[in-house]
A and B are shown apart, each in its own frame.
Chain A
């Protein structure tokens, strides 16, 4: 969203206030121009460093929270770092947890680029996981070149299908996608709960689907590259990186991506330019849903090999934080997902060693969204710079 809503250019009246300082040197215009240029540069610099500063501030506030609960923040973050990057097994765990976040991050980011807020990625993820578990199970006995891609395609289609009705409602009658995708998210979760408890339940005490056969699984990286120490990271991370590059390419070089960005930037201008708002909205939200569906698929095919009620711990919602931190840049999504993957992988060690609740992670996430997504630092810092320069010029 950030790239779709550019800051207004620096307001020269605020800056130099020519009337208030009669003794100024002549040619106030050139000063104004120079000032506006400087403002733009300042804004650009602030924009680039914003994500980094935001993460730092969020960590700082997190530290204060940990401190006020009577625990040692330094020990907590050290334990977290150790749990996320302390060795091959830990790095594997970080990549494992980053994998679904790359897909949900891409899903939310693609929506944002088209001016759509897909807050219901969680539901599309569940439907994608269901499709992967079902098709992966049914394709038992097929060669893996058919089974695994088959399950992935099914998951993408299921995710897209789950986004289709909200997309249609947005395009045709203007129903806000934040409410509709959220409602579909709940409906999807109850649907999956029914499926794993009823028609597609494996025999046994626990409500879950039967295991998918090896040919529709994603192999572990340490099985492919035997020189790596065994860890749980799987081929899904490679798929995630490929998906990020593909999404980047779609946005930059295809008509579909151009139309999505145009509608996201200014729907009525795009409409005047001959781009249909309705069809672009439907295409974009369904693409977003397909990416979220793939997120469910990689969890089922690479980690659990089956579907159960609680198989996602809010990846759809963390995807919002990932997309915002990445400023909706598909390549940035990879880095942001790895950061949140590391937080998640390290939080267990943190709880074990420093006795700090893993929930502190979602507090940090919320603060990051607030600071980056709402562009608080940018507006605040630019306001400060402007006020100082204004005072300088006036005085």
Chain B
């Protein structure tokens, strides 16, 4: 049975399931490094997942060629998420509101807005019509049944079988880690989250820097939502993010507020999710009810926080509003 469970497809599905969490977790790491808590990741993902599908469904009727419709969807997903993130930025940076409350408001607003528009546009609650999902970037020939063929099968499935946003996620995690530690922008961003007063004194624009970080996290959440609907599921269901935004926040903490770390931590959650889905196929043999499998990612989040959080140190100025001098 183990050979049936631990197939290359299991690992590939782990990476796929990790991607929305990872994109959001990387976005959260950038946002929190600037000193702003972004608990709205869940809502931002939901909004972008919805607008992504709507744009992809209606793009052909706006005169967009069929082949580009899905990319219009991705664009709409990112823009809608950035707009909602701007609300959070305005409330928490300019008006110095409580960041957790502002994020919660956006989460509830996202749930209401998507549900309301769903019924207004599609005339019914539940699930939207489907779009043709994004295809994998590469389609490679199989290698036959020989040993080399099996090795090739593993490489093909585990490394080369993904859709574009999955690769984009890996690239962004690496790129942003580099940018955070090796560029002037990264140094300044970290200063904003550790000691905004000092940054301000030497002439760094604190509010503008934080705005950029929040909008960037919005764009990342937008990609996460686009990945969820346009690459994985192909349709939108109300509240389909199902806590992924919150798991992403835990992954960010587990990854110690480093984009690359956040990505790796998300892989752990993706693996747990892939494993529980796979084990459900064998539930007749294992005799454990499906609900317990579905708890697994959430249990893992709690365990990870219980084991790690005490030693993880958050950015010093996280969650504290800042008022620029002069």
Contact surface of A with B, Cβ cutoff 8 Å:
1, 5, 65, 69, 117, 119, 165, 169, 172-176, 178-180, 182-184, 186-187, 190-191, 193-194, 197-198, 317, 320-321, 324, 357, 359-367, 369-370, 373-376, 379-380
Contact = CB atoms under 8 A, between A and B. Distances in A.
Contact of B101 (A1, A65, A169, A194): A1
A386 B188 CA distance: 32
B298 A373 contact: no
B98 A376 contact: no
A376 B106 CA distance: 14
A362 B116 CA distance: 9
A264 to B, nearest CB: 13
Interface string B181-209: 00000000000000000000000000000
Contacts of A1: 98, 101
Contact of B112 (A165, A361, A380): A361
A374 B95 contact: yes
B291 interface: yes
Contacts of A165: 302
- Give the 4 A-B residue pairs with the shortest CB-CB distance, closest first: A366-B109, A362-B112, A374-B97, A173-B310
Interface in B16-64: 39
Contact of A169 (B96, B100, B249, B306): B306
23 contacts: A65-B116, A69-B120, A169-B305, A175-B309, A182-B246, A183-B298, A184-B298, A186-B242, A194-B292, A197-B291, A357-B115, A357-B116, A363-B109, A363-B112, A366-B106, A366-B110, A367-B109, A369-B101, A369-B108, A373-B101, A374-B92, A376-B91, A376-B97
Contacts of B39: 178
B207 to A, nearest CB: 15
Interface string B107-138: 11111110110111000010000000000000
B119 A193 contact: no
B305 A186 contact: no
* Residue from A191, A198, A317, A366 having most chain B Cβ neighbours under 10 A: A366
Contacts of A117: 100, 104
Contacts of B298: 183-184, 186-187, 190
Interface in B113-170: 113, 115-116, 118-120, 125
Contacts of A174: 309-310
B289 A197 contact: yes
A359 B116 CA distance: 5
B295 A321 contact: no
A290 B53 CA distance: 41
A186 B243 contact: yes
Given A190-B291, A191-B295, A374-B97, A357 B249 contact: no
B306 A190 contact: no
A178 B319 CA distance: 14
Contacts of B102: 370, 373-374
A320 B103 CA distance: 12
A179 B289 contact: no
Given A321-B108, A366-B109, 18 more contacts: A117-B100, A172-B310, A178-B39, A179-B305, A183-B243, A183-B247, A187-B295, A187-B298, A190-B298, A193-B291, A194-B289, A362-B108, A366-B106, A369-B101, A369-B108, A370-B102, A373-B105, A374-B97
A147 B55 CA distance: 55
Contacts of A320: 104, 108
A57 B184 CA distance: 43
Contacts of A375: 95, 97-98
B95 A379 contact: yes
Contacts of B92: 374
Contacts of A119: 104
Contacts of B253: 176, 179
Contact of A198 (B113, B289, B306): B289
A208 to B, nearest CB: 15
Interface in B267-326: 289, 291-292, 294-295, 298-299, 301-302, 305-306, 309-310
B250 interface: yes
B50 to A, nearest CB: 12
Contacts of B107: 366
Contacts of B119: 357, 359
B250 A370 contact: no
Contacts of B250: 179, 183
B91 A374 contact: yes
A194 B60 CA distance: 43
A179 B299 CA distance: 12
B98 A373 contact: yes
Nearest to B307: A173
A193 B305 CA distance: 25
Contacts of A359: 112, 115-116, 118-119, 125
Contacts of A357: 115-116, 119-120
